[in-house]
Chains A and B, each alone.
Chain A
């Protein structure tokens, strides 16, 4: 029974992964480079060659620069060479979110739904097709979460920790380090797992575990972050300079945030993410003398269910018990964006989306009776149809279609007064 269920789950994940790959790789060679992507390539070359973090997004950590440099070297300066790691990690995040949600909820249907939602999510598709760090951070945060869950499962067996457990926990720190070296927001899920492990260490009165947790969740990620800054150090900087640089840049982008040039992407409030179905993030370029615009939007049939699902998960006793870690990850990642005073653009919602989709999957699994699973197929079909409707926006071809062109107009920078530069 369990083997059959696992087999079905594996097939479901495989199908979701294939679907994800098709949506992300379809006609990727025809998608012209966005202005940001060209700057990303130049930044990657300058970073590896001379430790410089300009001309674009110097406030983000530097793993992206190393990955883009590597893929340009491996695959050349074409579309795949520029976007390879976004495409690869974006696709692989789909089975990973399924595995993570299943490990947390023990419910394959919930996990399969979460994987399907991410596979077809237009926002995730749009950023998987761009040379930018948004899908990198999602992948590494999910991978770190999975390894942390494996570690916690072994810890809960009640047998003394073996060497392999120590290695697993260090691996959690290493992978979360890669996530943080993509974008700082990965620190929120890391803190959740650090809290869980520390609470267990206190309950078990295991000082060794507490020390190992501190090393794995603090020292290892910091070291990984510093290692990805190695080209920057080669400009003559020491460790004290590095600490200064990281804190100064963080403060510049948080407490002292001012857009370099007027930021015109309209959606900048995190509270709207799961209540306003029209939100998106637009990236611009020109191609053959015409404007070229990619707009990443959420699938409203999924995104509008996130907060009701979170509410249900909090109120329903059995669902609450099953989704405790998932809820902690969702709220720990979402609340800081709600609380901050600076603009938070819609693309950042990808940090929360995998956990949000997990909650929606778990809630649907809870409320749809086993005998009426056909409802889920119908709902899944509607979600797929909505995503296919929005796919031209994710690919930058929306202006070629009358129906989607109207959606793009909302992001017209000229209508709002000028171009946008900051993220």
Chain B
């Protein structure tokens, strides 16, 4: 009975994942959307992202901070209870959109793909403060957010299931669009939702990054056209 219950829990959990029709490689996904900032990105997730997904975020930044919301304590009864997720979504921003995506149940796991130089920095930081670190490898740092996996890597992952792919302009501050395209295709990553974010709300991102993203968008378009 115990084995049956445990197996049933796991199977029901996996069955609760919701995603669209994936295409492999991810660069051929039907739903490629260009957005200007994190709020638009979040709105896109909410509309198309499904539930219980792996989200692959290609960016120089991790964007995984809890957004500030109004004080939620109440000093008297009856308690005023409200949906915290809505409060977080109201304040979603450039530093927090992945945190909110996980909090919303849209992402169950996040794969951060960062430029090689950023990966080296992140690895040093993980070694210095290992609070949420599970393991540190040559090309992947496995972290968790209260048990939900976050993996920082310098390479596009190969996954057994379709992902949401987000490419942020900041990535191209230190990386080449053509190379990213080749990497995605080589990885065999499948995706049903691809979002390209110009990060207009991120003052750290300059023209080089945005030009790189525009070039990546045109490469995707060309690739899709060629395949058609």
Contact = CB atoms under 8 A, between A and B. Distances in A.
A41 B79 contact: yes
Interface stretch (A86-94, A216-224, A380-388): A216-224
Interface string B66-88: 00000011111111111111000
Interface stretch (B9-17, B164-172, B174-182): B9-17
B53 interface: yes
Contacts, number: 153
Contacts of A220: 2
A33 interface: yes
Given A54-B103, A58-B146, A235-B105, A226 B5 contact: yes
A219 B2 contact: yes
Interface stretch (B25-33, B129-137, B218-226): B129-137
B75 A227 contact: no
B186 interface: no
Contacts of A400: none
A128 interface: no
Q: Which of B17, B72, B78, B79 has the most CB of A within 10 A?
A: B79
Given A42-B81, A42-B84, A246-B147, A32 B76 contact: yes
B148 interface: yes
B130 A256 contact: yes
B52 A236 contact: yes
Interface residues of A, number: 58
A50 B88 CA distance: 14
Contact of B5 (A77, A223, A236): A223
Given A236-B17, A238-B14, A244-B144, A52 B75 contact: no
Given A33-B75, A50-B85, A239-B7, A223 B12 contact: no
A271 interface: no
28 contacts: A33-B75, A42-B81, A42-B82, A42-B84, A45-B83, A50-B85, A50-B104, A52-B103, A77-B81, A78-B77, A82-B79, A215-B2, A219-B3, A223-B2, A233-B13, A234-B12, A236-B51, A237-B10, A238-B14, A239-B7, A239-B10, A242-B9, A245-B146, A246-B147, A256-B130, A258-B131, A285-B75, A292-B75
Interface of B: 1-3, 5-7, 9-14, 16-17, 51-53, 72-85, 103-105, 108, 130-134, 144, 146-149
